[in-house]
Amino acid sequence: MSDTSLICFQNIIFKNRNMDLIFSFPGGESCRGFFIVSLLVEMAASSGIGALEVMHAMKSSDVAGIQNGLVKVTQSLKKMKETFKLMHSKFKLNLSPIFVSGWRDNPMLPNGLLYEGVSTEPMFLSGGSAAQSSAIQCFDALLSIQHDDETGAFLTRMRDYMPPAHCQLIETLSARPSLRDLILSCSSSDLCQAYNSCVSAMVDLRSYHLFAVQKYIVGPGNRTMGCPLRGVGTMLNDKGTGGSNLMGFLKGVCNTTKKALIS
């Protein structure tokens, strides 16, 4: 959703009180809140520029530099979670997820969707998904969090919906030597603790996202059962707006993140 959140706003000073959507779906303030909170979460990740500090410090095995960078990333992840809480504490969402869902892997549109005058072939596009967050995938790459093949393939596909420069940064971080392996080879308990704190903050963020999805995607998906688009509601309970196997996917990435902790 990072690209959607970034392009849907007027170019004004970034504060939640003076941002507004260029366009909106049915849902009024709920729709506005959904996109604004998504943008604010991405903005909260910006202080995690420590990821780049870690990458540079790794070149010279600068333990102190790596540790300082990890502290910044941890603070950023915690700030992202606190910002995410605005979903229910400030905006009181009641957004029907059918308006942010796609049709790739959607049984309602098994043959895709043809845009006349745009393409001669049907298109298969995913809907908005937190898997499209450039920040989260950057932190995954930095922390050497390895997802299983199916999940990894889905996350890689979601990069198609990110700004190209963001995608390039993720690929650059992914191509670096493993930070986790470097820490395992060191004898610094402080560095290990800094890494584990960072991973734990990522687990906390993903756990909160799981809660939010249950409340704002799965629940509203159930309520669409009586409308003409009820097939989309049924699909969302299984697949989510981005087309993934929703709850299984979210629990899987959370568990995989936990496995990165160093005991």
Statement: residue 23 has pLDDT above 70: yes
Percent of the chain having pLDDT more than 70? 76
H-only helix segments in the chain: 2-7, 29-44, 50-59, 63-84, 86-89, 134-142, 149-158, 164-175, 179-185, 189-213, 219-223, 230-239, 246-259
- Mean pLDDT throughout 202-227? 76
Tokens, residue 24: 């909106």
Tokens, residue 230: 């009820």
Statement: residue 2 has pLDDT above 60: no
Which residues line the annotated binding site?
A: 209
Locate tokens 């971080």: which residue? Answer: 173
Architecture of domain 2-259: Up-down Bundle (1.20)
Query: What are the domain boundaries of the chain?
Result: 2-259
Which one is predicted more confidently, 154 or 238? 154
Statement: residue 85 has pLDDT above 50: yes
What pLDDT, on a 0 to 100 scale, did the predictor assign at position 93? 56
Give burial (CB, 10 Å; 0-12/13-18/19+) of 51. buried
- Mean pLDDT throughout 27-42? 79
> How distant, in Å, are the alpha carbons of 146, 212, 215, 244, 249 from that of 207?
17, 9, 13, 17, 12
Statement: residue 235 has pLDDT above 50: no
Which one is predicted more confidently, 120 or 49? 120
Main-chain dihedrals φ then ψ at residue 69, nearest 5 degrees: -65, -40
What pLDDT, on a 0 to 100 scale, did the predictor assign at position 15? 56
Which residues line the annotated binding site for heme b?
A: 209
What pLDDT, on a 0 to 100 scale, did the predictor assign at position 6? 47
Statement: residue 226 has pLDDT above 70: no
Q: What is the mean pLDDT of the chain?
A: 81
What pLDDT, on a 0 to 100 scale, did the predictor assign at position 230? 44
The region of weakest confidence among 43-52, 64-73, 239-248 is 239-248
Percent of the chain having pLDDT more than 90? 46
Q: pLDDT tens digits for 42-57?
A: 999 988 877 888 999 9
What pLDDT, on a 0 to 100 scale, did the predictor assign at position 227? 46
Rounded Cα distance between 127 and 153, Å, is 16
Statement: residue 107 has pLDDT above 50: yes
What pLDDT, on a 0 to 100 scale, did the predictor assign at position 253? 94
- Mean pLDDT throughout 218-225? 58
DSSP code of 21? Answer: B
